[in-house]
């Protein structure tokens, strides 16, 4: 059908195997013109490149059990190349990546036939289709008490912001030879790491076991820091964008800054993120934030732009993220670092008061 009714439409192309020097990146380009979630994966690849090529702030929200699934090194890789500038994460995803770095091993099991009572008797904790030794996990939790005891000696003030708390945690891990962790990588690259629900994970046990407990963590101070950063970058600044791996608290923490910045500015237009990618398996119809589309529902709150580059990808993060990262590696090359990275890092250091 070639008439004026179709002139503005992008043709759907059939998928077929193709020998291409572009590998995965070329495949993602072709998938952009396919259908369903394959099309959305291609769109996410296209939008992420636009984020990288621009001057705006790229935020990353990390939820779900991604560290135990082995995706921590991909988050580290994104930070190192400047493909994300700010992270909001669950507690588990910035502590459970310590397990393998400390020598623990994960083992695959058949989730449909595994005997959980037997796992308990044998001393294993299960994450759906993989397990880790309970003694290794408990030792990792106990290991973090050393951080709290060190912080109690080094930090004389009665309170500390959550962002500074995680910065100190990353520095402590780096000094312990665990520089491959997400927190330590954020420390070295001066990437703000927000963990709004830090006690919801191994750090809670480390705190409980610590012989000396230091400053109170002021998580409301984190929000003030986040608003300072977002207020600098949201229009008329160079803009902000977001990538959400799952939903949960990290997604909300990043998104609600848009509504607060608008309120602070007074009677002005909205201050939404100009682009957003969410990778989730949450269903929209149950009303949860994880399924609230960045391309529709979130626009009603002023969190995402009406005309923004917003991609809602319904897929397992363990499938989509490795493919997207491989595509970015092929597209930009192994030594690439984002052009805007140096300026953004300098900006953030000033905003954080470093």
* Residues 6+ positions from 222 with CB-CB distance below 8 Å: 161, 162, 163, 194, 196
| Cα–Cα distance measured from residue 87 to residue 17, given in angstroms and rounded to the nearest whole number | 37
Cβ–Cβ under 8 Å, residues 190 and 354: yes
First to last CA, the chain: 60
Between CA 169 and CA 180 the distance in angstroms is: 13
Token couple for 45: 């690849």
How far is Cα 258 from Cα 57, in angstroms, rounded to an integer?
Answer: 13
Return the closest-CA partner of residue 88 out of 75, 101, 98, 97. Answer: 75
Q: Who contacts 90 (Cβ-Cβ below 8 Å, separation ≥6)? A: 62, 63, 64, 195, 197, 200, 201, 248, 249, 250
Catalytic residues, by residue number, are: 303
Question: Strand 159-161 and strand 216-218: pairing?
Answer: parallel
Q: Is the peptide bond before 233 cis (omega within 30 degrees of 0)?
A: no
The structure tokens 């409301």 sit at: 220
Q: Kindly list the distances between the CA atom of residue 221 and the CA atoms of 218, 251, 279, 311, in Å, as whole numbers in the listed order.
A: 5, 18, 29, 31
3-state secondary structure 38-107: HHHHHHHHHHHHHHHHCCCEEEEEECCCCCCCCCHHHHHHHHHCCCCCEEEECCHHHCCCHHHHCCCCEE
DSSP string, 240-299: EEEEEES-HHHHHHHHHHHHHHHHHH-SS----EEEEEEEE---GGG--GGGS-TTTHHH
Query: What is the CB-side half-sphere exposure of residue 354 using CA atoms within 13 A?
Result: 17
Q: How far apart are CA 161 and CA 215, in angstroms?
A: 9
């Amino acid at each position: 059908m070639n008439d004026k009714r179709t002139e503005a439409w992008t043709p759907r192309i059939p998928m077929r195997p193709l020998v291409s020097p572009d590998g995965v990146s070329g495949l993602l380009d072709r998938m952009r013109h396919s259908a369903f979630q394959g099309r959305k994966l291609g769109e996410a690849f296209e939008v992420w490149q636009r984020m990288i090529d621009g001057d705006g702030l790229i935020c990353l929200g990390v939820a779900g059990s991604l560290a135990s699934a082995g995706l921590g090194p991909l988050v580290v890789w994104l930070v190192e190349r400047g493909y994300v500038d700010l992270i909001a994460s669950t507690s588990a995803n910035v502590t459970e990546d310590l397990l393998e770095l400390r020598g623990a091993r994960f083992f695959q099991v058949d989730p449909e036939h595994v005997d959980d009572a037997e796992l308990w008797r044998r001393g294993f904790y299960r994450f759906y289709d993989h397990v880790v030794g309970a003694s290794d996990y408990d030792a990792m939790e106990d290991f973090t008490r050393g951080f709290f005891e060190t912080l109690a000696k080094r930090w004389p003030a009665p309170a500390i912001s959550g962002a500074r708390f995680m910065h100190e945690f990353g520095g402590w891990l780096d000094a312990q030879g665990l520089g491959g962790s997400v927190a330590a990588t954020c420390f070295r690259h001066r990437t703000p790491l927000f963990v709004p629900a830090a006690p919801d994970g191994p750090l809670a046990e480390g705190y409980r076991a610590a012989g000396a407990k230091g400053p109170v963590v002021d998580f409301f101070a984190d929000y003030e820091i986040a608003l300072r950063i977002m207020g600098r970058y949201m229009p008329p600044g160079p803009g902000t964008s977001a990538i959400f791996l799952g939903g949960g608290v990290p997604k909300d923490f990043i998104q609600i800054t848009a509504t607060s910045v608008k309120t602070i500015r007074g009677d002005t237009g909205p201050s939404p993120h100009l682009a957003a990618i969410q990778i989730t398996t949450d269903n929209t119809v149950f009303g949860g934030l994880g399924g609230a589309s960045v391309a529709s529902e979130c626009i009603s709150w002023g969190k995402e732009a009406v005309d923004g580059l917003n991609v809602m990808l319904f897929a397992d993060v363990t499938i989509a993220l490795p493919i997207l990262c491989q595509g970015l590696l092929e597209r930009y090359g192994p030594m690439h670092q984002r052009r805007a990275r140096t300026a953004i890092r300098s900006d953030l250091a000033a905003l954080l008061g470093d």
